[in-house]
Structure 1
Amino acid sequence: MDLENLTITIGEHNFTSSNKAMNVFSVLGPINTAWVALSNLFLTVVLLSSAHLRTQLRIQLIVCIAICDMTNGVLVNAFFSNAAIHKTWNLGCPFHFFIQLLGVFADVFLTSWYLVIVNANYFVFLMGFSYRKLSPLADRFVSVVLLALPINLFCVVPLPIILTRLREVKPSNTFYCPLFLEDNYEVAMCFICFFIPATFLVIFCACFVIFRKSNKCSRETLARNLLSETTTVERPIFFVIPTVTMLIMMMPDQLVNVLFFSNAVAPPTGLGWMFMIFATMETTRAGVLPVMWLFFPDIRQAVKDKLSCCKQRFKVSATMTVTNVGYKDLQTQ
């Protein structure tokens, strides 16, 4: 289906695709896709290859976020970038529906709620409790439950709403299937996927700042509470920075959706540009978070070690190649 000058009608509102916006996205999309995929893949490999880090619940949760963002980058960003470049969608209706489900709802929901669990886990430690005080079996059970919780919640709450509250939009054919819900449910999904977890994240960040300002969260206290879990002392700022960054980059797109689908504001003239810019911010967030995790000293050191190891292997490989070439030259003389 040709996407140039495409108009989609939802109730009394019309969405008209912007050729200029699509041209910009056709340039930024592939760059963003490559960066999101490679940065999250590298982070996942580094964390899982570290025998010390991969056993920590905090690291396992970060890996889950990285895998969600990497999947979103590889599938959603890549195919939407391809459609923007060629100004057409010819991959069929079911696949279009699937990648919208991943990009618009699943990635936002899973990333937000996994980040809530990361912060909640740290808050529990600040209260002086360690999961290691439980039996090994109970400790492992808690980890498995927390790691699977966002996925199970998505299957139980948002997914049934999405599948049962779809609205008919025009054009509707076998090639292009815009995924829009009824207005009230579209707003509700914004709260379920983002604003409710965002509220928890703001509360946790405020608590971390208060703990730090009141000196109840000194390095000695952190060391006493956390050393059973990690060999480094994690300061609250390490959790606040990635959380605030994620909220800032995701907020505009979600807020515009709420204002539009709640009919609080009339669709502005530059709606296509607005959606494109804010959607790009939200997808770019997936490439920014891996950088934000480097504030953790142990993650930063693991990345340095992996880069140093790769550099050393490259030098050894280059040396062996030069040696082999020289040896072959001697044999031919």
Structure 2
Amino acid sequence: MKDIKERGNQTVVTEFLFLGFSNHPELQELFFLIFLVIYLVTLLGNLLILTAIRINPVLHTPMYYFLSNLSFLDICYTSTTVPVMLLNFFREKKAITCEGCLSQIFFLITFAGSECVLLAAMAYDWFVAICHPLHYPVLMSKRICAYLAAGSWLYGLVSSLIHTGLTASLTLCGPNQINHFLCDIPLLLKLSCSDTSVNELMLYVSSATIGLSPCLFTAVSYVLIISAILKIQSAQGRQKAFSTCASYLTVVVIYYRTANINYDQPSSGYSLDGDILVSVLFCIVTPMLNPIIYSLRNKEVKVALKKLCEGFILPNDSSV
């Protein structure tokens, strides 16, 4: 981040001050407890799914390969912001260095962009399984699955490198207050006293490539999937297909909807509380909901989690 000399009322920006939750100082302890519980549930839920998929051979399929990637992404994504936010509840000065802010932006964009593309890959996997079952072993081989997963990570990483590099080139001359609990590109653009047209253009390009394109692809895939499911003659087959499809569709709707609200809010009528609430839903609550939705809606995941829990309990029982 470029340093600048003092010039008039402008000051050198070496750190940022978070104003998130500053409107409610009397609720700091309650907020800390709520977010700590959510963070622990997120870690536990996603770690359980990762472990269950890892040790259960029945779940060694493309569907659960992508799910394990999603769980790992959710752990990384929420860990980028929540630990810093929890620490700030006990700090009088809720500050972060410019380098720390850029690092947070880099990881946020990497994980958020990767998850957006990964959800589209999961929709493609489900589309092939329902609409082209005979070609599924060929179209979703281990190599293709690895390419899709790696492509998701690479897409998020490349986008993050571009945006973080452009953000690092901004000249920030104060104020250094961020009306949020995290660092994000639109927030820093408001603090810049240099030309931000290139940054804004790249944000629009990313919204179309990483945001809109995977979202449209996913939507079309699920329209075709639901249409194919409705043609299944067996009622039991339709119910099983809808049950699994519902869990995926719920996760997709929650993610894309909260992402859309978070990054496409109108500039007028800005509300600090409203903006923070949307970001909490997108960055903190959604990663917690994903393992809950999959464990409740997916029978195979429930069975695997039950066996995993029994594996921890039974050895203790046998030793008594």
Task: Specify the TM-score bucket, using the shorter chain as the normaliser.
Answer: 0.7 to 0.9
State the shift of 1:219 in Å: 5.9
Q: In the alignment, is the contact (CA less than 8 A) between 2:120 and 2:214 conserved in 1?
A: yes
2:125 is matched with 121
In the alignment, is residue 86 of structure 1 matched against residue 87 of structure 2? no
Q: In structure 2, what is the equivalent of residue 207 of structure 1?
A: 224
1:65 Cα offset (Å): 0.7
- Written as runs of structure 1 = structure 2, the 5 A alignment for 1:308-323 is 308-317=310-319, 319=320
The number of residue pairs the alignment matches comes to 280
2:61 alignment counterpart: 56
How high is the TM-score relative to the length of structure 2? 0.75
Of stretches 21-30 and 196-205 in structure 1, the one that deviates more from structure 2 is 21-30
**Inter-partner Cα distance in structure 2 for 1:87 and 1:190:** 36
Q: How far apart are the structure 2 equivalents of 1:21 and 1:144?
A: 46
Residue number in structure 1 paired with 2:254: 248
Offset of residue 313 of structure 1: 2.0
Question: CA 1:217–1:100 in 2, change beyond 3 Å: closer, same or farther?
Answer: farther
Q: Which amino acid aligns with 1:139?
A: S
Q: Residue in 2 aligned with 1:298?
A: 300
**Structure 2 regions of 5+ residues with no counterpart?**
1-17, 190-198
Does the CA-based 8 Å contact 1:18-1:273 persist in structure 2? Answer: yes
Superposition deviation, residue 145 in structure 1: 0.9
2:269 is the alignment partner of 1:280? no
- 1:141, CA displacement in angstroms? 2.1
Distance of aligned partners of 1:214 and 1:111 in 2 relative to their CA distance in 1, 3 Å threshold: same
User: Residue 37 of structure 1: which of 34, 39, 43 is its match?
Assistant: 43
Query: Are the structure 2 counterparts of residues 188 and 151 from structure 1 closer, same or farther at C-alpha, using a change threshold of 3 Å?
Result: same
Indicate the larger mover: 295-304 or 189-198. Answer: 189-198
Structure 1 residues 165, 100: CA separation in 2 closer, same or farther (over 3 Å shift)?
Answer: closer
Asked if 1 retains the 8 angstrom alpha-carbon contact of 2:62 and 2:145, the reply is yes
Give 1:94's aligned amino acid. Answer: E
CA contact (8 A) 2:46 2:75 kept: yes
CA shift for structure 1 position 42: 1.4
Q: Which whole-Å CA distance do the structure 1 matches of 2:114 and 2:23 have between them?
A: 32
Amino acid across the alignment from 2:273: W
Distance 1:208 1:217 in 2: 16
5+ residue gaps, structure 1: 1-14, 223-232, 320-333
* Change in 2 beyond 3 A, CA 1:259/1:279: closer
Q: 1:77-120 CA distances to partner (integer Å, 9 max, x unpaired)?
A: 111222244253455332232123323x2222122211111110
In structure 2, how many angstroms separate the alpha carbons of the residues matched to 1:217 and 1:204? Answer: 22
CA distance change for structure 1 residues 314 and 100 in 2, over 3 Å: closer, same or farther?
A: farther
Distance of 1:259 and 1:277 partners within structure 2: 12
Q: What per-residue deviation string (whole Å, max 9, x for no partner) do you get for residues 207-250 of structure 1? A: 22222223378766x9xxxxxxxxxx961441333333442355
Q: Percent identity?
A: 10
| Structure 1 Cα separation of the partners of residues 158 and 85 of structure 2 | 28
Offset from partner CA, 1:20-55 (integer Å, 9 cap, x none): 3573643432222111111111111111111232x3
The 2-side partners of 1:94 and 1:297 are apart by 45
Q: Distance in 2 between matches of 1:158 and 1:293?
A: 28
Counterpart among 51, 76, 92 of residue 71 in structure 1: 76
TM value normalised by structure 1:
0.72
Q: Which is greater in Rg? A: 1
Aligned twin of 1:11? none
The structure, 1 or 2, with the larger RCO (C-alpha pairs under 8 Å, 6+ apart) is 2
Higher mean Cα deviation, 274-283 or 190-199?
Answer: 190-199
